[in-house]
């Protein structure tokens, strides 16, 4: 996968109608903020999102590059675990 996983937090609760501006990001309103998370984001896309916040007049609280979760091994079919 190209890019990285990011978590962006802005002050204020953005309405779902703004979701199209942040294509590919999951939006969640949390106690007076909006948290956007997404994976596969490259630097150009990240900077584009930050510019959109500025255009909307929304204060960016934090940007965090998240660690990719370690892959969870799938149980092997037909074998019992000891």
Residue 58 belongs to domain spanning: 4-66
In a domain, 60, yes or no: yes
How many domains is the chain built from? 1
25-37 pLDDT, tens digit per residue, is 999 999 999 999 9
Mean pLDDT (the chain) is 85
Whether pTM exceeds 0.85: no
Identify whether 53 is part of a domain: yes
Please write the tens of the pLDDT for every residue from 48-62: 999 999 999 999 999
CB contact set of 16 (below 8 Å; sequence gap of 6+):
27
pLDDT over 80 (residue 17): yes
Domain contains 79:
no
């Amino acid at each position: 996968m190209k890019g990285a996983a990011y978590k962006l937090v802005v002050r204020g609760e953005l309405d779902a109608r703004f979701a199209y501006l942040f294509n590919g990001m999951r939006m969640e309103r949390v106690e007076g903020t909006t948290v956007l998370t997404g994976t596969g984001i490259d630097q150009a896309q990240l900077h584009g999102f930050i510019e959109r916040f500025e255009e909307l007049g929304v204060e960016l609280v934090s940007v965090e590059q998240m660690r990719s979760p370690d892959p969870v091994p799938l149980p092997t079919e037909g074998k019992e675990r000891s």
